[in-house]
Amino acid sequence: MNLTEAEYNRIKDLLPLQRGNVRVDNLTFLNAILYALENGCKWRALPKEYGQWSTIYKRFRRWSENGVLDRVFTALNEERLKNADVSVLSLDST
């Protein structure tokens, strides 16, 4: 469930500008998030093609706290680009 360049271009205005020495571009970052949602994997289990898991997690946490991901996933659903339901959370207590 990766975003294509064309799909990304439709939502890129919702994203913060990348500044400084950025190792993972926004498209790759969003595809890493979609991969984790689709596969339910741990951050440490992300494939290397997405970059370091810690980089992805830190940006995920920052964007979550700032409401960026809410706007992105709302736009993805409204534009019918991807149907990603992030309202369900499952925790395993074992």
What Å distances lie between residue 52 and 15, 48, 60, CA to CA? 20, 7, 13
Tell me how many domains the chain contains. Answer: 1
Q: Residue 50: how many CB atoms within 10 A of its CB? A: 18
Kindly state whether residue 69 falls inside one of the protein's structural domains: yes
pLDDT (0 to 100) of residue 84: 53
Kindly state whether residue 26 falls inside one of the protein's structural domains: yes
pLDDT (0 to 100) of residue 80: 67
Q: What pTM was computed for the model? A: 0.79
Angle of helix 53-65 versus helix 68-78 axis, rounded to 10: 90
Kindly state whether residue 24 falls inside one of the protein's structural domains: yes
Mean pLDDT, rounded, of the chain:
83
Percent of the chain with pLDDT over 90: 36
Range of the domain at 39: 5-78
What Å distances lie between residue 3 and 12, 65, 81, 89, 92, CA to CA? 11, 23, 8, 22, 29
